[in-house]
Structure 1
């Protein structure tokens, strides 16, 4: 038998194998896209809005957040906090102080009201006038953030969005594989939409070209967002910390869990002008468990915490003399450390609690977490970027890029383009499916009886399922459903 004849017979076999592989990839891309599409639009819109939070919030709440700069010193933080406390119902407990150095921004304190609601109160920093209040949970950007993270559905929603992120990895991988130029297709032709086409071929051309241009950015979005998820992200952080690659090594070590207060009676840092005595404040905070032995930074009432510091256990205040450290003195300490503003302080929530200052700037290298004894003012721990493990450092940079903060407005625009581009991909994919879908059917791509081996693809799925167990369970479920519900003969569908 001649070599030429052998080559001629091998070509159809190779074409058949390639066609089967293409169909298998297309089928998985279809399932991933069908699940991801509606949530991808939600993630894109909410993520874009949250990215522009610094510009949007002052427009939404100008009378609370924005003040007219004055050529006079700002009032002391202790005075402002006392004014805020007097303006709220009796029994309200201050949990957080937001320290700003901008001359045109109001002073903000977060309180827990007697009914359990968390409320921000805003004051003019120059004369102490109360400008208004906002519910922490009901403000627009907080709702947007909770929709982005968990669809306002609590833990089930958080797990669902984590699954969406994981399945987006499959959608991206299969999409790139389907796009990869085949015989007779030039690279330029695969990268540029063919606007001379009409109908579904035009939608497919636009979808494929846009998808490949966005693939790297979409992959970066998923990878940098996963460490913040409620299930996998939490375990990933714990694992990274246990091997000294995440949180700073020993960031919680060597400190007693409880302290004996001066005079043997429970006390709390007093606020000048606050008529509520310290014993009442202490008792009102104790049930909330805002400061208990073994608590981590992620448990504190702080709007934002650096990822690498989130798993660090919060130390407890030490024995000291009769002096009580005030918020104003903490702010002065932070100023001496080179931080004039732009950070949050979690106030001591129990007799052994500490002041916890969290600085979460756009540049990860400047991140700081400082624990200060509420009685002596001693700095119990000062965590900087250099103290993070390798994974913690990488996640810090990924977070800053993911949120559009690292290189200013340009970063925000890049994130918006990527997010809205992903939403466009979801829409074009939906249009393609609807145009191809036979009436009364799901419209899944046909599967050949003789399935191509595709060992590499199967290995990737196994690895993804092992790294992301929740995703692994759904992969098996989809595979079984595909065999049981859609295992019969299917009519071939146009690509």
Structure 2
């Protein structure tokens, strides 16, 4: 083998070892979040069947011939909570044999941005009017899964970070900062590092000359031990990588910091069609609850006002609005939000009944119906067609993320992705455990630099990718600068320790260091067990 070939292979070997070290440390940081997201995501994905199973006494009733008027059902629910509770919404039965749900806010309930509103849900049998029971929205398996998946949102400690919306559209976004829960911010940061984890894993898996014999889409079960788990780890990671990238990006769009900035950016660059109708000071986001989400693109939409000519007439009943909603072909499971009237300087602005389709939903099902509280006339019928291009794209991504957009197919792909994540984490842990030397941690050692400088094109590509990610995701950018600063300090310490000594060749490894065998091989015949870690 020529000297130039050996040098080229040493450079590529050094790059592979650096990427493998990056992959290891990022995986160590991201693995807990990946497990939490995968497990909680599976629960959220199957919320309806889980609720019907775990809370069957609340959700499922014996079907009868006739139903009790909706307003009487609401009165039953109101009698079961304190008089100081506020009626938040009513969800008529989604189908035969299903209960009516009435949502209340307790007098001490904090709302976003101070915290995530925790509803009290009261269930009533629509056929008998009998009180079935009540539960806290954030209680139980599904409630905890929602809490963990967003790492408690704005509950708990908060930090205030600069608002992009205030910079680009101060009149629409008057607040200069965004309150963000520390847990949610950590999840946002981890999500971007997961993108780095996936990119480094794909790079390690990618076929190259010095690993010519490694199987790309095959698991060597008969090899057993480390080789088997390494193949399974690599194949699983590559298969689910594209799905995970889509899930990470779509999930970031409703994180409490980057998501709110993205909302402001997309609404300013590609605004939605404005509806010419008087509105109240409230926006739909004021009614966004974990158990009754408002569509992402609709949270900044105003709640339109009910106009009155002359004397103020009586408000229509919930039964009237329910009948109108059915006539408008709203998707069963829709929620009716009561009007909220606001009086300022002696003048009253009357709100409207707002009917929203159940969430999660397909993009075609995104719809909010605003009805005059006195006449029932449709004030506005807001759908995804009126949203800007970026908002529609975001809503589509969220519908895919929630497993609804393509029906069963989307749910299957989401399930595979969650199980794939758990498989990747488990096999990664097994590989580390099997290969670690007795009595040692088996962590990656630092890679020498002399005679093994990475190719210029690699440096340029990595730098460009880091800059782009750092600009698009500022929280990640700050963390990356911190990592680089620590790396610089460690490198300086290493140079001071090895002053006057020749740096070891690129094939030296650190304590317990094991990189893909093919990455270290310089012989003409590749090792049969060569395999990259993904």
Q: TM-score range by the shorter chain?
A: 0.7 to 0.9
Quickly say closer, same or farther: Cα 1:118–1:494, change in 2 above 3 A: closer
Within-5 A mapping of 1:224-373? 224-244=250-270, 248-251=272-275, 255-257=278-280, 293=281, 295-302=282-289, 303-320=292-309, 321-339=312-330, 341-351=332-342, 352-359=350-357, 360=359, 362-373=361-372
CA contact (8 A) 1:362 1:405 kept: yes
Residue in 1 that maps onto 2:9: 15
Q: Distance in 2 between matches of 1:472 and 1:333?
A: 50
Task: Quickly say closer, same or farther: Cα 1:397–1:344, change in 2 above 3 A.
Answer: same
SS of aligned partner of 2:95: coil
Match of 1:264 in 2: none
Shift, 1:206, TM fit: 1.9
Structure 1 spans left out of the alignment, 5+ residues: 1-6, 258-292
- Determine the C-alpha separation between the residues in 2 that align with 1:79 and 1:58: 24
Q: Which moved more, 1:444-453 or 1:296-305?
A: 444-453
Q: Separation in 1 of the partners of 2:445 and 2:126?
A: 63
3-state SS of paired residue (1:150): coil
Question: What is the aligned partner in structure 2 of residue 74 from structure 1?
Answer: 67
For each residue in 1:127-160, what CA deviation from the matched residue of structure 2 results, as whole angstroms up to 9, or x when unmatched?
A: 2111111112224312211111115764111111
> For the Cα contact (< 8 Å) 1:23–1:445, is it kept in 2?
no
Does the aligned pair in 2 maintain the 1:95–1:301 contact within 8 Å?
no
Cα displacement (A) at 1:361: 5.8
Q: Distance in 1 between matches of 2:100 and 2:249?
A: 36
Equivalence map 1:111-130=2 (5 Å): 111-116=104-109, 118-130=119-131
Match of 1:466 among 458, 466, 471: 471
Q: What displacement does 1:241 show? A: 0.7
CA distance in 1, matches of 2:445, 2:389: 43
- With over 3 angstroms needed to count, the CA separation of the structure-2 counterparts of 1:188 and 1:368, relative to structure 1, is farther
1:289 corresponds to which residue? none
1:327 Cα offset (Å): 1.7
Distance across 2 between alignment mates of 1:23 and 1:330: 65
**1:223 corresponds to:** 249
Greater helix proportion: 1
Task: Say which SS state the counterpart of residue 121 (structure 2) adopts.
Answer: strand
- The 3-state SS of whatever aligns with 1:443 is coil
Q: How does 1:397-476 map to 2 (within 5 A)?
A: 397-437=396-436, 439=439, 443-450=443-450, 451-452=453-454, 453=456, 454=458, 455-476=460-481
**Partner Cα distance (2:415, 2:356) in 1:** 27
Residue matched to 1:267: none
* CA positional deviation for 1:401: 1.9
What residue in structure 2 maps to residue 375 of structure 1?
Answer: 374
Task: Tell me what 2:77 maps to.
Answer: 84
Match of 2:37 in 1: 43
Q: Displacement of 1:313 after TM fit?
A: 2.7
User: Partner residue of 2:227?
Assistant: 201
Q: Match for residue 65 of structure 1?
A: 59
2:175 corresponds in structure 1 to none
What is the CA–CA distance in structure 1 between the aligned matches of 2:384 and 2:66, rounded to whole Å? 32
In structure 2, the residue corresponding to 1:305 is in which secondary structure?
coil
Evaluate the alpha carbon distance shift between residue 440 and residue 483 of structure 1 in structure 2; reply closer, same or farther with a 3 A threshold: farther
Once the 2 structures are TM-superposed, how far is the Cα of residue 186 of structure 1 from its aligned partner? 5.4
1:410 positional shift: 4.0
Contact kept, 8 Å, 1:23 with 1:446, in 2: the verdict is no
Is the 8 Å Cα contact of residues 238 and 311 (structure 1) preserved in structure 2?
A: no
Contact 2:138-2:147 within 8 A present in 1 as well: no
8 Å CA contact 2:93–2:332 kept in 1: the answer is: yes
CA distance in 2, matches of 1:167, 1:340: 38
Query: Deviation at 1:112?
Result: 2.0
Q: Deviations over 1:39-71 (max 9, x none)?
A: 11111111011101111101011111101112x
CA contact (8 A) 2:277 2:379 kept: no
How far apart are residue 114 of structure 1 and its match?
Answer: 4.2
Q: Is the alpha carbon distance of 1:402 and 1:187 closer, same or farther for their aligned partners in structure 2, counting shifts above 3 Å?
A: farther
TM-score scaled by length of structure 1: 0.84
2:23: which partner in 1? 29
Q: What is the SS of the residue equivalent to 1:399?
A: helix
**More deviation in 333-342 or 96-105?**
333-342
Cα deviation, residue 422, structure 1: 0.6
User: Which of 478, 486, 499 is the matching residue for 1:481?
Assistant: 486
The Cα of 1:119 is off from its aligned counterpart by: 1.0
- In the TM superposition, residue 196 of structure 1 has moved relative to its aligned partner by 2.9
Cα deviation, 1:401-445, whole Å, max 9, x if unaligned, reads 211223434432321121011111112222323444565657134
1:316 and 1:430 map into 2 onto residues whose CA distance is 57
- Give 1:358 shift: 1.4
Q: Which residue of 1 aligns with 2:514?
A: 494
In 1, the alpha carbon distance for the partners of 2:47 and 2:15 equals 44
Q: Retained in 2: the 8 A contact 1:241–1:249?
A: no
Q: Distance in 2 between matches of 1:237 and 1:79?
A: 40
